[in-house]
Amino acid sequence: MTDSDETPGAARDVTPGGTPDVTPGADPAVPPAGPPSATSSVSLPPPVAEIATGYAFSGPAMELGSVLWDGRCYADAPVRIPLAMLNRHGLVAGATGTGKTKTLQLIAEQLSANGVPVFLADVKGDVSGISAPGQDNPKVRERAGQVGQSWEAAGFPCEFYALGGIGTGIPLRATVTSFGPVLLSKVLQLNQTQEQSLGLIFHYADSKGLELYDLKDLKAVTGFLVSDVGKPELKGIGGLSSTTAGVILRSITAFEQQGASDFFGEPEFDVTELLRLAPDGRGLVSVLELPAVQDKPQLFSTFLMWLLAELFNGLPEVGDVDRPKLVFFFDEAHLLFSGASKAFLESITQTVRLIRSKGVGVFFVTQTPKDVPADVLGQLGNRVQHALRAFTPDDAKALKATVRTFPKSPYDLESTLTGLGTGEAVITVLSESGAPTPVAATRLRAPQSLMGPVPGEDLDRLVKSSLLYGRYAEAVDRESAFEKLSVEEKGREEVAVQAALPEGKPAGKKEDKSLAEQVVGSGIFRSLARSVGTQLGREITRSLFGTRRR
């Protein structure tokens, strides 16, 4: 089931929320029963029967594939995952070209059919096909027959996003103040001291009502705090050194030169858009198109963490639910953890641990489990491990480490993991009781949607026909810290000019107002405060990652 095995079919006219063809009277949330297979009349070998028993759930479950044993696929031994366990998080891992993307597509389709919204990060640009029906061909039919799948082509309701509008998709932006100092420090690759100084800058801006909407706002506040006028403002809480400020400003400038200015600003994306259902009750599949920003891995991985943190901050506690409110797939997960500070990793671990009670499931997608820190890996109850390669000593070491993370099983996992074909995986999930299921080498089902990208013109039409496009397409640049500080700087220059005139300055005029007095006292500032109902002089409450608590 490699990418080259499927011939992309013509994309059907599918609009977000569109309904695929289904058999009248059939429940689209329940996969139809598979046809009799070559092994259906043969009794299962004892190990296969024991594995199959571990996947015989009583409640709603998603079909992943069928058990492989001794080189043979047993269609009468299905491998499934309970829908209620999808918020217990998971890991999809495997070497390049082993079928991870198609596994995401398979799981996303069934979640959508069961009324669960899905978020997918499309790093390579080949997931857009989920919006269009797949094409029937002999290879798909062969795979369907092997696993007992009654395959029917179907497209699923999708929304497509792009970071800052770079690439094809509804522009997805965040304000700097919402992003917070911890996540931004990760993107800017600051050290611990510089991260703490950036936190001090945010603290000052929050407390003085200086809105940080975009990067020029952050640069303006940073520059002000090391100016002769601004230095006294931080005197009581440690101050900001010119050297550290210089590093931060240079990092921001370099970041802007990479095109990052487009990602920060307004209108800020409302993450609750990801929780919507299509008119027919299926979950909406939100696809973040990332091919245009592949050269900015730190940015998109950290931006995904911002989305997750925003969901954590905004959703109520729901405890255990019969199905998740959202399943979030975090592709190229190793980029998130690479070079991360201890505080950042602790925040990730805490978010993953606690967001389950908000009804959100998180799947990390990467090449090997060792890419994910042990504390995070311990939170991932569902595992889909595609083939691993052992061409080098490091590969062999990673293979042995992966084997140790699985429960005991009748398989020789070192041999099995290196011998899996494309579209096959070793799986263990959490049962309805919360206990791990038996380890099962599995041949996976074929996705029903198009296994490849839709044509560019179709993708562009889908994006522009969305109701959200008009809401987020056009960037807005409201008055914020940059404009306020520019006005006050101009005012100080005018005062200096008046003082230099022969007749002198007007009598009784105060020259030494602090920035807070000047800003809060200005007519522009009071007008803005009235118009947006902002409570100024009160610091924004921040939670995990220093993101704004709404």
Other CB atoms closer than 10 Å to residue 267's CB: what's the count? 15
Percent of the chain residues topping a pLDDT of 90: 59
C-alpha 524: how far from its chain's center?
38
Point out the least confidently predicted range of 106-110, 342-346, 378-382, 444-448.
Answer: 342-346
- With bands split at pLDDT 50, 70 and 90, how would you rate the model's confidence at 398? confident
Residue among 468, 455, 425 nearest 443 (CA): 425
pLDDT, residue 114, reads 96
- With bands split at pLDDT 50, 70 and 90, how would you rate the model's confidence at 465? very high
State yes or no: pLDDT of 72 exceeds 60. yes
DSSP 297: H
The mean pLDDT value for 102-119 works out to: 96
Residue owning tokens 């028993």 = 53
State yes or no: pLDDT of 408 exceeds 60. yes
Mean pLDDT score of the chain: 84
The mean pLDDT value for 479-498 works out to: 77
pLDDT, residue 540, reads 75
DSSP 133: B
Residue among 212, 464, 184 nearest 299 (CA): 184
CB 269 within 8 A of CB 173: yes
How far apart are the C-alpha atoms of 439 and 69, rounded to whole Å? 11
The mean pLDDT value for 47-59 works out to: 96
- With bands split at pLDDT 50, 70 and 90, how would you rate the model's confidence at 550? low
pLDDT, residue 323, reads 93
pLDDT, residue 22, reads 39
Percent of the chain residues topping a pLDDT of 70: 83
State yes or no: pLDDT of 204 exceeds 50. yes
pTM here is 0.81
pLDDT, residue 66, reads 98
The SS3 call for residue 91 is strand
Q: Which helix (H) or strand (E) holds 295?
A: none
Point out the least confidently predicted range of 52-61, 328-337, 359-368.
Answer: 328-337
- With bands split at pLDDT 50, 70 and 90, how would you rate the model's confidence at 497? low
State yes or no: pLDDT of 277 exceeds 80. yes
Point out the least confidently predicted range of 45-54, 100-109, 390-399, 435-444.
Answer: 390-399
pLDDT, residue 265, reads 93
The SS3 call for residue 210 is coil
Tokens of 385: 């491990």
pLDDT, residue 496, reads 62
* HSE, side-chain direction, 13 A CA sphere, residue 172: 28
State yes or no: pLDDT of 534 exceeds 70. no
The mean pLDDT value for 347-352 works out to: 88
| Dihedral sign of CA atoms 31, 33, 36, 39 in order | positive
* HSE, side-chain direction, 13 A CA sphere, residue 104: 35
Higher pLDDT, 546 or 178: 178
Higher pLDDT, 251 or 19: 251
- With bands split at pLDDT 50, 70 and 90, how would you rate the model's confidence at 498? low
Point out the least confidently predicted range of 206-215, 257-266, 530-539.
Answer: 530-539
CB 182 within 8 A of CB 347: yes
Residues 6+ apart with CB under 8 A from 348: 305, 336, 337, 340, 373, 376
CB 519 within 8 A of CB 282: no
The mean pLDDT value for 298-327 works out to: 89
Higher pLDDT, 391 or 176: 176
Point out the least confidently predicted range of 328-342, 390-404, 424-438, 468-482.
Answer: 328-342
Q: How far is CA 302 from CA 188, 337, 542, in A?
A: 10, 10, 17
pLDDT, residue 539, reads 61
The mean pLDDT value for 190-200 works out to: 92
pLDDT, residue 27, reads 43
Higher pLDDT, 521 or 389: 389
The mean pLDDT value for 228-254 works out to: 88
State yes or no: pLDDT of 40 exceeds 50. no
The mean pLDDT value for 154-175 works out to: 94
How far apart are the C-alpha atoms of 68 and 84, rounded to whole Å? 25
